[in-house]
Amino acid sequence: MRPGLLFSGDAVIAAAIGLAMACGAAHAGSAQDYYPRRAWDAFNGGQMNTSILVFRDRNRNGIYDLGDRPMPHVAVELGKPNGDTIMRWTNVSGFANFRMSVLQRNLEVVDPGHYSFRVVPPPGFSVTTANASQDSDYVASPGTPGDMIATRTTHPVGLAADLTISGAAAAGARISLTGPNGATAAATVDPDGRFSAPMTSGEWLVEVSADGATERRKIVVGEAPVVLSAFSGKGDPAEEPLPEQHIVSFDDLLTTSGVFEIPSGYGGLNWYNLVAMHQRFTDGPGYINTTMSGEFIAYNSSGHPGQVFSDKPFDFTGAYFGVGWNDAEGETLVLKAWRGDQPAYEDRLVLSATGPVYFAADYRRITRLEIRTQHSWQAAMDDFAYRTGP
């Protein structure tokens, strides 16, 4: 094409196609062209994560072993060489990730030097692995994904809930708690009618005495705090417990990651507006943190009240409860039960997304149980326990 000569659009396209064909014909690609080796001594400008794992130490042995679960929505601070800190939450797999790159200067780890990690446990949780704070030196390493590596990697950090037994009783009631070693402790009832005492794992006898009457309950404390249903103040219940014990874990309703309305007849009871799903079907950390057995969890659909009911009386003995979303931290769960049309029981407990409480109910011979939240957030539920008769 001569200088100054203008082509039409079609002519330009045709010329470009012809040039591409000519170049293609003149320069066939080689294996080295198509499969180049990386220049290992050069910075590549990529990035990678440097991470720390936080897990729920279910057996409290200070070791990340079989049976332990990742713990999402735990705060982890990264301390930088210049003294600044930045916080990230652990994700659904329990990892707090910090992005690392030498050339991408807007990430969290960009300069070689000394960095520290600090896991900040949620209220009511303690570190079991004695390594909440860890540190390492980071050095430049051209050719690695982020052009930088840590000279020492982090170790998993275990958390476990601080164990307590709490409940409601009449003002002035005397609370006696006898533990698995036979030692007895007392708890004080607050002016608002609540009491709470620290516990260890194992079977406890709780005795509440008021106005000459004493109620006794045996409670097994496991890996979660226990909240007792309200004491009546009338002494031990007149009705004997029903003989056949059951626990439904919602793991045999579905095998995929979908959502499944719990059908009437499941476990021999009828269900309304309660849904089962895989714990990771959503991003809600409370669903993962409340799951106690298997991989599936139940919740009240769309945060609206759910019900469990039966024509034949049953005893509701307890379940693990949490709240599905961290935005609902401190949501109140309201449990009500009826015998026919007559109200029989009512309790309230505070929920968390960081881990469940076990509600140890003593609801006997009921025909309907309502599960609702005060502000219409989803309450996660696992290992629903009850008794039936012949």
Domain residue extents for the chain: 48-161, 163-236, 239-390
Paired sense of beta strands 213-221 and 202-210, if any: antiparallel
Six token digits for residue 135 = 């540190």
- Say which CATH class 48-161 falls into: mainly beta
- Say which CATH class 239-390 falls into: mainly beta
Per-residue pLDDT tens listing for the chain (390 residues): 433 333 344 443 343 344 344 444 557 889 988 998 888 999 989 999 999 999 999 999 999 999 999 999 999 999 999 999 999 999 999 999 999 999 999 999 999 999 999 999 999 999 999 999 999 999 999 999 999 999 999 999 999 999 999 999 988 899 999 999 998 999 999 988 899 999 999 999 999 998 888 999 999 999 999 999 998 777 666 689 999 999 999 999 987 778 999 999 999 999 999 999 999 999 999 999 999 999 999 999 999 999 999 999 999 999 999 999 999 999 999 999 999 999 999 999 999 999 999 999 999 999 999 999 999 999 999 999 999 998
Q: How far is CA 247 from CA 176, 278, 280, 382, in A?
A: 29, 18, 22, 9
Q: How far is CA 119 from CA 129, 222, 225, 336, 379, in A?
A: 11, 24, 22, 38, 26
146, 138 contact by CB (below 8 A)? no
- Amino acid identity of residue 54, one-letter, is V
361, 348 contact by CB (below 8 A)? no
- 8-state DSSP, 276: E
| CATH 2.60.40.10 for domain 163-236 | yes
pLDDT of 39 = 85
CA angle (45 as vertex; 42, 47 as ends), nearest 5:
125
Six token digits for residue 285 = 């950390």
On the question of a common fold for 48-161 and 239-390, the answer reads: no
The torsion angle over the Cα atoms of residues 281, 287, 289 and 290, rounded to 10 degrees, is -130
pLDDT of 239 = 81
3-state SS track over 11-45: HHHHHHHHHHHHHHHHCCCCHHHHCCCCCCCCCCC
Six token digits for residue 379 = 């309450």
Six token digits for residue 194 = 């609540």
pLDDT of 171 = 85
- 8-state DSSP, 200: -
Which candidate, 57, 74, 72, places its Cα nearest to that of 119? 74
CA distance 51 to 74: 13
Which candidate, 71, 159, 150, 89, places its Cα nearest to that of 116? 150
Beta pairing partners, 117: 78, 134
Please, which residues have CB within 8 angstroms of residue 204's CB and are 6 or more apart in sequence?
165, 177, 178, 179, 180, 218, 219, 220, 221
